[in-house]
Amino acid sequence: MAFIDLSRNEIQAKLVYYGTGRGGKTTNLLYIHESMSKQVCGKMVTIDTKGDRTLFFDFLPLSVGKIMDLSIRIQVYTVPGQVMYNTTRKLVLRGVDGVAFVADSLRVQRQRNIESLQNLAENLQGEGLNIKEIPLVLQYNKRDLTESNIPLLSVEEMEEDLNKELRVPYFEASAVKGYGVYETLREISKRTIKNVIQKVGGQLER
């Protein structure tokens, strides 16, 4: 849940990148962090687990400006993708304001994508949140492998599997090459900030 830090004159919001292990969550954040100006981007913090990582940094989207004289700072997290770390996933989701779900386009990951999205819905429900109501976008990662011999899911198949009921924006992407990465971040940031402003604005006007 976004909160107001009066000591910094900021509204702080939390974004979480969710998805299967090795699906591209970490690569998304590393690309964003390395290419973003250090004037608006904080230090990357990495928490290593066996075979997986949780990453965190925050940034100040300057184009947003100020709301009621308050700047908006967005904290961006990844969750570990492996099932054994579900307790950590729940902890990272605590206080979340928006989610970018990174799906793996490899055909062998089809069922894991579906299970990971179901896991997200369950863990959000545990926080009193509805996956159909929270700001959410989908990213179909590894689309750069279409010219390889590796069997990939089509975008239509991924839409049928993951987005048939949600009907949220989706982006084809290659986190390794960087395309679709900022588009995903821009859309989920925009949706999250809009939602946060509605909630915080109502609190400030009371």
Tokens 């987005």: give the residue.
Answer: 163
Residue 201 lies inside a defined structural domain of this protein:
no
Q: CA–CA separation, 64 vs 31, rounded Å? A: 21
Domain range spanning residue 160?
3-193
Residue 198 lies inside a defined structural domain of this protein:
no
CA atoms within 13 A on the CB side of 146: 10
- pLDDT of 95 higher than 90: yes
The count of domains in the chain is 1
- pLDDT of 206 higher than 60: no
Residue 199 lies inside a defined structural domain of this protein:
no
Summarised one tens digit per residue, pLDDT across range 127-161 is 999 999 999 999 999 999 987 889 999 999 999 99
Residue 16 lies inside a defined structural domain of this protein:
yes
- Work out the percent of the chain whose per-residue pLDDT is above 90: 53
Q: Is 99 left (phi over 0), alpha (psi -120 to 50) or beta?
A: beta
8-state DSSP, 102: E
* 46 in Cβ contact with 55 (< 8 Å): yes
Residue 202 lies inside a defined structural domain of this protein:
no
The helix or strand, by DSSP H or E, that contains position 197, with its residue range, turns out to be helix 181-205
The CA-atom distances, in angstroms, between 132 and each of 2, 164, 167 are 19, 12, 9
pTM of the model: 0.90
Structure token pair of residue 135: 């700001």
User: How does residue 62 score in pLDDT terms, banded at 50, 70 and 90?
Assistant: very low
Residue 200 lies inside a defined structural domain of this protein:
no
Q: CA–CA separation, 65 vs 63, rounded Å? A: 5
- pLDDT of 59 higher than 70: no
CATH code, domain carrying 102 = 3.40.50.300
